[in-house]
Amino acid sequence: MQDEIRESELRFTRRALLGAAARGAAALGATPYLHALDALAPPQVQDAPSPRIAGSFDFDWKFETGDPSGAEQPDFPDAHWRAVDLPHDWSIEGPVDEHAPSAGPGGYMPTGVGWYRKRFAAPASWSGKTVTLVFDGVYRDSSVWINGHLLGTRPYGFVPFFYELADYLRPGADNVVAVRVDNSNQTNCRWYSGSGIYRHTWLHVLGPLHIAQWGTTVRCPRIQNDSAAVEVRTKIVNARSNSASCTLSTAILDATGVETARFESSQTCAAGATAECVQKLSVATPRIWSPADPHLYTARSTLRESGAVVDTYETPFGIREAVFDAARGFLLNGEPIKLNGVCVHPEAGCVGAAVPERVWERRLAILKEMGCNAVRTSHNPFASEFLDLCDRMGFLVMAEAFDEWRVPKGQIRHGYSENFDEWHERDLMNFLARDRNHPCIVIWSAGNEIGDQSAPDGTETLRELMTIFHREDPTRPVTAACDRIASEPPSNTVRPEFLAALDVVGYNYVDRWRDRADKYYSIDHALHPERRVVGTESGGIGGIRGDYRYLFPEAGAEPRFFLFEQNRELDAEELWQFVRTYDYVAGDFMWTGIDYLGEALWPMRITPAGVLDTCGFKKDGFYFYQSQWTAAPMIHLFPHWNWKGKEGQPIPVTCFTNCDTVELLLNGRSLGVKGYEFPRQGMEHIYGDYPPRARVLRTTSDLHLTWDVLYEPGTLQAVGVKDGAVAATANVTTTGEAASLSLSADRDRLAADRRDVAHLVVEVHDGQGRAVPTAANEIAFSVEGEGKLIGVDNGDPFSHEDFKAGHRLASNGLCLAIVQSTGNPGAVKITASSPGLTPASVSIVTRA
């Protein structure tokens, strides 16, 4: 058993993961931020094909819930077990149960014990090879066997790990891998974790002399406009009983595959040892990675022995510099930039923890449309393909390791504190080794709201973790998300020496205590001007999409709920004004970008804290952040205008906009012009000389506009003016009753690879084709052809419907279905129907 950071690469480019040969089988795994150096103009050398075999191990597993005796043995009868592909999460299959052991933290979903088995043929040519099985994540307490031999166990469900199979492999015969997953020890996670082998798996076949697992580290000690110094550290494993002399050639390729630098060096590797080779290259006129231009390079490492290629390995990376500064905040490539961030959990609604890559790609694209440029992986390492997407799409990432250290949290009974002492170093090293080359990661987080922050020995634990972080990656700072800064009672407050040990101090809910509700970071900045600070977690504008009950509270309703609904918008606005105004605040990660399963109270099973619901549908809060984080003129108006029975009653109408002024009209009658200015602009050059933006009508110091409107059916129209001209409009209209369905797909073609997915959005329309914002019709889905339905959702936190059923109630006019391709090219027809409504269909093509 090998559970250390050794062996071949883990990651693939997206297209390699999907079964196409794109840029070689080993791409998007490690990817750091780089700097620069200089080198000789490289010759264009063609590398020979690699003898390395690296392929997905995801397909054709057998699965069974329960704990049958002897299931690890190769001859165990599993013909009656269910056939599944990975990633797989059995918890999301339900049913939801108020009395489930997972309780509110786990979204009231089932857990327990499950077994996976896979039979595969190992060619005789694998004899004498190093064969490695890589798991990107198994939740949780996994045990893995090959041909009845136990390879090892792994308690933590959020980290990658691998085992070497060669000692027990049978080349030239069938082999059986068995995996036992035990998620019965509840509760063990404060949010929905899922259960099973819920991330990708890979099988690597290597020669005895090869590049180690996650074996490259790419750094940039210097970046200039004319050149970037690139330092590549490569670990070479010699599994033979005699020493080996080899040559390592590293080429730097740009995104088009053009070689921009090359360096070759000789290395001697002792028998049974790992040697590290350090190479320094220079990339001329580098293309710098940034959110606006997320350009990726690839370091292609070619290992030769006696002139013959014995291994190749590819490491994507980006050339960029990231700095946190006590006075200027966060700087990327020398330019100050605010981290307009969101926190997200790793599951995705109806697909649970086994998230197809396209689901995350769609979600990230919607967040980018909002102006979000940063993501915090709350509160654990995410799947490798998530970080690949952030690299390619230009997101800045705070990558978090743990939610518990040694001090347990009271919300759960069996958290990571039970495993910390034995496993934290190995878990942290695997996390860092896999992810330290990603340019998207600009800061590590050692933990979230950990109880150790106020414990007597907590600082010592932090220093131990910091040593590992800095040893494995000296290029990035480390923070921790602290929620006890200035908390009560004083014995519960974070210790000053704990904060002093952090590279960057992370504040969770900076406005939580006493006068910090108005002063935020300013108190600590005055006391500690040398402190670098970032908002690791702050309240956002969540709520239930399309739900405006707070406008007309029913008798007996809990008043605090409705006050919270109304106040959090103002809280978010005021915090953003402070963060935007003061340079020393690096930015903020609001809670949350997307609603998530778990951390809920029955009858809810979803926490509606996001600006997107679990379907990825936009809530009103989305448009607040868009109004502050983007420049293109926009207007969003709410609530809806279907208020039968409320005629003549006042309804507050709210507008989020980045226009200078907005005029509101009801059925063509003007209800007045309003505007705001933020940030405010003072005089320039000479007395009385105000910039144009400072001369517009200003009716509020808030970051939204409101009108109290006496309800009458019809159309509300908002007309936004910017720089003296109409720049954006928005309409909200009273609709009729539901009459038909609209069905749209986010893509018209999929890869026929058993992985790719399309999102099908159903909108309930009235007789004039207008979306009915209050519709709750039941929608049935049928799928014909080369696709299968893998999930349905509506974003309603109170819904207890089955995520895997073929039907779903619309929630406030919308619902979602996700369809996955089969392995065969062809067509897929999806139909949505509902009693009494005109159905709708769309067709999708799948291609090899």
Query: Per 3-state DSSP, what percentage of the chain is helix, strand, and coil (rounded to 5)?
Result: 15, 40, 45
N residues, the chain: 848
- Give the three-state DSSP class for 400: strand
Strands (E) in 602-644, as ranges, are: 606-607, 635-638
Expressed in angstroms, the distance from the first to the final Cα of the chain is 37
CA distances from 403 to 185, 377, 407, 468, 799 (A): 17, 11, 10, 17, 28
Q: Which of 425, 436, 362, 372 is nearest to 399 (CA)?
A: 436
Dihedral of alpha carbons 688, 694, 699, 702, sign? negative
Neighbours of 566 (CB within 10 A): 11
What's the rounded Cα separation, in Å, for the pair 530 and 507? 16
**Is 400 among the residues known to form the active site?**
no
Kindly name the residue from 7, 361, 400, 537 that is annotated as catalytic.
537
Strands (E) in 704-777, as ranges, are: 705-710, 715-722, 725-733, 740-745, 749-751, 757-765
Kindly name the residue from 72, 404, 449, 786 that is annotated as catalytic.
449
Give, as one character, the DSSP assignment of residue 357: H
Q: Which helix (H) or strand (E) holds 149?
A: strand 149-154
DSSP letters of 286-327? -----SS----EEEEEEEEETTEEEEEEEEEEEE--EEEETT
**Is 335 among the residues known to form the active site?**
no
What's the rounded Cα separation, in Å, for the pair 378 and 190? 11
DSSP letters of 497-527? HHHHH-SSEEEESTT-STTHHHHTTHHHHHH
Q: Quick check: 477 and 532 in contact, CB under 8 A?
A: yes
Torsion of CA 143, 147, 148, 151, to 10 degrees: -40
Neighbours of 423 (CB within 10 A): 16
What's the rounded Cα separation, in Å, for the pair 133 and 144? 10
What's the rounded Cα separation, in Å, for the pair 745 and 743? 7
The set of residues, in sequence order, having a beta carbon less than 8 Å from that of 352 and lying 6+ positions away, is 89, 91, 92, 192, 194, 198, 597, 803
What is the greatest pairwise CA distance in the chain?
A: 90
C-alpha angle with apex 248: 242 to 251, nearest 5 degrees? Answer: 160
What's the rounded Cα separation, in Å, for the pair 567 and 634? 24
Q: Which residue has the tokens 């031999």?
A: 149
Q: Which residue has the tokens 């020398």?
A: 334
Give the residue numbers marked as catalytic.
449, 537
